[in-house]
Each structure stands twice: as C-alpha cells, then as structure tokens.
Amino acid sequence: MAVTTDTTAPRAKAAPAPRASGPAAARHRRKEALHWVAVHSLGVAAALFFVLPFVFLFLTSLMSDQQALTRDLWPRTWEWGNYAKVWHTPGFLLWWRNTLLYAGLGTLLTVVSSVPVAYALAKFRFRGRRLSLLLVISMMMLPPQVVVIPMYLFWAKQLDLSGTLWPLIIPMAFGDAFSIFLLRQFLLTIPDEYLDAARVDGCGEVRTLLRVVLPMAKPGIAAVALFQFFCAWNDYFGPQIYASDNPAAWTLSYGLESFKGAHHTNWNLTMAATVLVMAPVIVLFFFAQKAFVEGVTLTGVKG
Amino acid sequence: MTSPSSPLRAKRRRSALRTAAFMSPWLIGFAVFFAYPLMSTVYFSFTKYDGFRPPVLNGLDNWSYVFTDSPMFWPAMRNTLWLVVVMVSCRVVFGLGIGLLITKIKTGAGIFRTLFYLPYLAPPVAATLGFVFLLNPGTGPVNTGLEALGLPAPGWFTDPDWSKPALTALALWGVGDLMVIFMAALLDVPKEQYEAAELDGAGSWARFRHITLPNISPIILFAVVTGVIQAMQYYTQPLVAGKVAAGQIGGSGQQVEPGYPDKSTLTLPQLVYNLGFQRGDYGTACVLALVLFALSMAFTALLLRRRGGLIGTGD
C-alpha cells in the first residue's frame, strides 16, 4: 500500500487558469482566491484550537506561585527557575531513569520478539495462520484490566516483584500484539520475489529474515519502536498496579499525577513538570515524523 | 497428489517446526500472559477472594452483586454508553473534518499537519492535568475567555453535567490519529470520479455525499469501531481528571470515591482497579473484568466480521 503522507504532492497543482482574458476567467480566479482564503482561515482557527493549550500551559509554567492562581494569561515576571525547581524535586530524576528503562528496554524486547512472529504471519503458509492472526488482533483490542488481577497476583505473590517495573518489562520479551500486527502489515508490502531469490541462493529462513527482510523493513520497525516507546512513556495503569507502593520505581506518567497532589496549589510548578514530560515526546516526533505517520496509516487503512 | 513420499513429509515437518520456532515468543506469551490468567479471572469471579486468604467458591454471588446491588456498576455503564455515543461520534466527525481540511490546504500543509497531530502524542496524564488547569472554573483561561465574550462559563471537570463534555474536548484535542487515517483514505479516492462528477455539474456537497463518503466508508466504520473499543477501555484520562479536579492527593493508599464529581467520570476499568486493588475484593473485580472482556470482544468481532475484515486479515 502506498502511504501518501505529503498532502501537497499528489494533488494537481491548482490549475493555473489559462491567461485568458474576459469576465469568465476573472470570475474563476476570484473564486479560487476566495476558496484559498476560506480554507486557510479555517486552518488557522483549527491550529489555534490545537496549539493554544500548549501555549497556555507553557506561559503558566513561567508564572510565580501567586500569579498562577489568578486569571492572568501572561506572566508578569518570567520565572524560569520553576523548571530548575521541578528538576530538583526529590524523585524527579529517578522517574526519568525509570521511564527510560521501562520504555527503552521494553521497546528493544518488543522489537526483537515481535519481528519473527510478524514475519511468520506475513510470509509463511501454515495451518492455523488465519486463526493466529485473529488471536493477535483480538489481543490487541483487549483492555489490560481483563487479566490484570491474576497477573498481579502472579508477579507480586509468586515472584515477589511488585514495587519494580519488571512485571511490565519482562512480558515484552514475548511479543506484543499491536507490534506484531503492525509489522505484519508492513512485511506484507515486501514482494515475495525478494525472499524467493534469497532462498534460491541458499539462505535459510533466519538468514533471509536478517539479511533481506530486516533492511527493507526498517521503516516498519522504526514505527513499531516509536509506538512502543511512547506507549511505555505514557503508560499510567501498569506503573499504578506494580509500582505505586514504591516511589523509587515510579515513572514520569505516574509520578506526574502525584506531583500535582504533593504541590497542591502550585499550578505553575505542575505545569512546568507537565511541559517537561511532554517535551521529549515532541522532540522525538520532530526527528521521526515520517515513521509515525506511516505507522498510524498502516494500522488504519487496511493492509 | 498421492500419498506424500517420505522426503516430502520430512520437509513438511521441518517447515512446521520452523513456523513454531518463529512463532514461539508469541505462543508462549499468549499462554502465559493471556490464556492462563483469563481462566483464572473466570475462576476468581465465582469466588470470594481478597488476595490473601485462599479463594472460596461462592457461586454467582459476585455476579448478582455487580448487576443488582453495586452502586457503581450501572453509573459506569451509563458513562461508557455516553462516551461511546457522544465522544466517539464527535471524534469521528471532527477527525474527518480536520482530515478534509488538511487535504484542501495548499500553503504550509506540512506545518498545519504537524500542529494538528502533536496533541495526539501528549502523554495522557500530562494532557489531562493541562486540561483540568485550562478548564478550571474559577481561573482557567477557557472560562476567562468565555466570560470575556459574555458566554456562560460551565464548571467543566467539577460539574457532573459537564465533566464528560470536558473529557470529550480533551479527546478532540488528541484527534491527530484519526486525521492521519482519514487523510490517507481521502487521498486514495480516485481523482477521475471527482472530475467526472464535476463535468456532470455536481456541487461540492454532492461530490462529498456521493463520491467521498462511499469511498471512505470502510475507514469511517473502522474509526467508529476502534473508537468504541477505546471508549470502553477509557481509563487514565477520567481517573486523573476526577482525582485532580477533586483536589485529591495522588499516590498510594488513598481510599477515594472514584468518578468525581458524583461518579460522572467513572468507567469500567476504573471499577476493576477500585474493587480489586483498593477494596481488596478481587472476586467482584474479576466479574467486571469479564464484562469488559465480553464487550471488547463483541466489538472486535464486528471489526473482523466482513470477509478480509476492516482490519485486513485478508489472504
């Protein structure tokens, strides 16, 4: 499937009205111009809806404690020190470390374990293939709450691992349904001829996967890795179940909510912390826009 | 083909082994992290179980408690229904509108697209905290703006009638995923159909109604069904919004009435957490987990129903 992400390219360049004179041509040009203005005004209005929340959060994060409780929208004094205060809040750096561990290690394990499964589902013919795929999709749609009670009892009572992030990280080594599905959709787009050529040359399946498929699947793998990273970065339920008893194991998402609790009235510091949690996501997005948009498209527009 | 010769059979066995090897991470994961715990959930749902003393079978007690006596189950179901009807339809209509808009924008399309997409990436806890602040009835910028325009300023997250609309506003802000999906679908509509219609003198509404909509209807259905599944799983945003708006202290150990204000932000997944992990009634929590399971699977079946499926299992 061709994933078109550039909205400007495929549209015919606004047909430059043939420089014909006459009232009809002028009317046409005027209509085009009006259309342009209407569309772009709507675009700006929509952009305000999407951007203003970020702007207000940021401005509030730079206010003094007192001003953040007023109706003011613009900081009277620019308190850049708020960010240092948040940064030096006990635990904040630990939350960063934990989040990076959970998201980083989790992503790595997910990719390593999901790629071979996705490859088998996309390229092997075997009995039960369709059923396996249906099960993968069903699991993808499954709320984590459905099995959380036995899982919690298993990790906490039998393995004594509550208060750590391991119950969240270890399962990632056994394939993640969403990642498998997304990778499978991507691998379907790689023509079988490449694989057959490799096999004719005497490559085993493992070699074919590593040498031929992986290099071609890089964009798909990048999309899966990013999704998985953000999924862990944003996860609130998992850390709430396993790490809530032990503040040393909190992640940013979980810690942030408690941060608001501990800093009851300090909206300025809370907003500064919020900005600090959002910032890495936004920075990473700017480096990896294409992989992201491709990933979203791949999940939605049939394979 | 007659009976397979033995080298062929050996080859088949080798290929079956190979498939099993490649599938093994997921096969193990499925058994250990899904099939076994699901069976345990079913078993626990018929027991009195607090996680410490061994589970004691109590028949249908938990089930009848949930459906007839629980003060929280039906409010949670009503909230879910509200979210499914209002929030999902708003998101689909708005997402389609933004998707259409972005395909029409000719100048700066890349910048607009990025701006529309970014909120989708904001971590839910951060986005929710931000919206509770923005929609703060006393001092938030939104109500300040509404009052300046002479419009009524609702209580948003502190008013049971407005807390779900406030959550809907938050969900609309994060509509970037739908925008991208609709955008891709809209660009796939064959240009010739528009040109032909234009020659026939069809106006822009007629073209949208008779060409665009039929072409993208599978994607609309996909967005609706996945939206419904997400709405049933809605957890972090209503939980955080309720807690923060109530001014409750986060962290562990706090026994708080969930769904502030007045159970209006209570959802099924929250109830699983509340009953199991806060009240230590794992048996009843498992009943709710199974209700959630049944609902999710019903809608997933819808996604997969058509041949090839909306989600493309097609062979």
Q: Find residues 104-163 of chain A whose CB sits inside 8 Å of chain B.
A: 113-114, 116-117, 119-121, 124, 126, 129-130, 132-139, 141-143, 145-154, 157
**What does the pLDDT read at residue B306?**
64
Q: Which of B21, B115, B180 sits opposite A51 (nearest CB)?
A: B115
Would an 8 Å CB–CB cutoff place A287 in contact with chain B?
no
Compare all CA atoms of chain B with the CA of A113 and give the residue at the minimum distance: B25
Would an 8 Å CB–CB cutoff place A171 in contact with chain B?
yes
> Between A and B, how many CB-CB pairs are < 8 A?
310
Helix locations, chain B, DSSP H: 6-30, 36-45, 61-64, 73-82, 88-104, 109-121, 124-134, 141-148, 163-173, 176-187, 191-199, 204-207, 213-232, 236-245, 268-273, 282-305
Distance from the Cα of A145 to chain B's closest Cα (Å) equals 6
Distance from the Cα of B161 to chain A's closest Cα (Å) equals 23
Average pLDDT value for chain A: 87
Which range, of A16-30, A71-85, B51-65, B274-288, averages the lowest pLDDT? A16-30
Would an 8 Å CB–CB cutoff place A191 in contact with chain B?
no
Q: Do A302 and B223 touch (CB under 8 A)?
A: no
Would an 8 Å CB–CB cutoff place A282 in contact with chain B?
yes
Which residues from chain A sit within 8 angstroms of residue B292, using beta carbons? Answer: 143, 145-146
pLDDT band at residue B186, thresholds of 50, 70 and 90? Answer: very high
The interaxial angle of helices A23-61 and B109-121, nearest 10 deg, is 30
As a whole-number percent, the residues of chain B with pLDDT over 90 amount to 72
Residue A229 neighbours by CB under 8 Å, 6+ apart: A103, A104, A106, A107, A284
Q: Which of A174, A185, A244 sits opposite B29 (nearest CB)?
A: A174
Compare all CA atoms of chain A with the CA of B95 and give the residue at the minimum distance: A46
Q: Do B122 and A148 touch (CB under 8 A)?
A: no
What's the rounded mean pLDDT across residues B55-61?
Answer: 94
Q: Do B18 and A124 touch (CB under 8 A)?
A: yes
**What does the pLDDT read at residue A257?**
83
Tallying the residues shown for chain B, one arrives at: 315
Q: What is the pLDDT of residues B210-241, one digit of tens each?
A: 999 999 998 998 899 999 999 999 999 999 99
What's the rounded mean pLDDT across residues A163-192?
Answer: 93
Which range, of A86-95, A118-127, A228-237, B306-315, averages the lowest pLDDT? B306-315
Q: Do B37 and A151 touch (CB under 8 A)?
A: yes
- Unique residue bearing structure tokens 């703006």: B145
pLDDT at A12 over 60: no
B220 with B92: CB under 8 angstroms? yes
Would an 8 Å CB–CB cutoff place A245 in contact with chain B?
yes
Torsion angle (degrees, nearest 10) of CA A241, A243, A246, A248: -160
**What does the pLDDT read at residue A285?**
86
Compare all CA atoms of chain A with the CA of B248 and give the residue at the minimum distance: A261
Which of these, A162, A173, A154, lies nearest to A106 by C-alpha position?
A173
Q: Do B277 and A264 touch (CB under 8 A)?
A: no
What's the rounded mean pLDDT across residues A224-233?
Answer: 91
Q: What is the pLDDT of residues B21-32, one digit of tens each?
A: 999 999 999 999
Running DSSP on this structure, what letter comes out for residue B252?
Answer: S
Cα distance between residue A1 and residue A22, in whole Å: 45
Q: What is the token pair recorded at B222?
A: 């996909």
Which residues from chain B sit within 8 angstroms of residue A290, using beta carbons? Answer: none
Q: Do A53 and B119 touch (CB under 8 A)?
A: yes
Would an 8 Å CB–CB cutoff place A189 in contact with chain B?
no
**What does the pLDDT read at residue B310?**
62
**What does the pLDDT read at residue A265?**
67
State the best of A149, A235, A293 to mutate against chain B, taking most chain B CBs within 10 Å. A149
Q: What is the pLDDT of residues B117-170, one digit of tens each?
A: 999 999 999 999 999 999 998 888 999 999 999 998 999 999 999 999 999 999
**What does the pLDDT read at residue A260?**
76
**What does the pLDDT read at residue B256?**
63
Average pLDDT value for chain B: 90
User: pTM of this prediction?
Assistant: 0.90
Q: What is the pLDDT of residues B237-286, one digit of tens each?
A: 999 999 888 875 444 445 567 898 989 999 999 999 999 999 999 999 99
Which residues from chain B sit within 8 angstroms of residue A7, using beta carbons? Answer: 102-103, 105, 109, 113, 183, 187
Q: What is the token pair recorded at B118?
A: 């970014």
**What does the pLDDT read at residue A34?**
92
**What does the pLDDT read at residue B64?**
96
Q: Do B33 and A241 touch (CB under 8 A)?
A: no
Q: Do A50 and B119 touch (CB under 8 A)?
A: yes
Q: Do B34 and A302 touch (CB under 8 A)?
A: no
pLDDT band at residue A264, thresholds of 50, 70 and 90? Answer: low
**What does the pLDDT read at residue B248?**
55
Burial class for A58, CB neighbours closer than 10 Å (0-12, 13-18, 19+): middle
Which of these, B234, B236, B186, B195, lies nearest to B214 by C-alpha position?
B186
Q: What is the pLDDT of residues A187-227, one digit of tens each?
A: 998 898 888 888 888 888 888 899 889 999 888 899 899 98
**What does the pLDDT read at residue A4?**
40
pLDDT at A181 over 50: yes
Compare all CA atoms of chain B with the CA of A258 and give the residue at the minimum distance: B250
Distance from the Cα of A168 to chain B's closest Cα (Å) equals 11
SS3 for A236?
A: coil
**What does the pLDDT read at residue A13?**
46
Q: Which of B125, B184, B282 sits opposite A3 (nearest CB)?
A: B184
pLDDT band at residue A71, thresholds of 50, 70 and 90? Answer: confident
Would an 8 Å CB–CB cutoff place A214 in contact with chain B?
no
Tell me how far CA of residue B79 lies from CA of A286, B68, B174, B231, B275, in angstroms.
Answer: 36, 17, 20, 10, 18
**What does the pLDDT read at residue A11?**
44
Q: What is the token pair recorded at A142?
A: 């499954």
Q: Do B41 and A261 touch (CB under 8 A)?
A: no
What's the rounded mean pLDDT across residues A6-12?
Answer: 44
Which residues from chain A sit within 8 angstroms of residue B191, using beta carbons? Answer: 12
Would an 8 Å CB–CB cutoff place A69 in contact with chain B?
yes
Cα distance between residue B271 and residue B258, in whole Å: 8
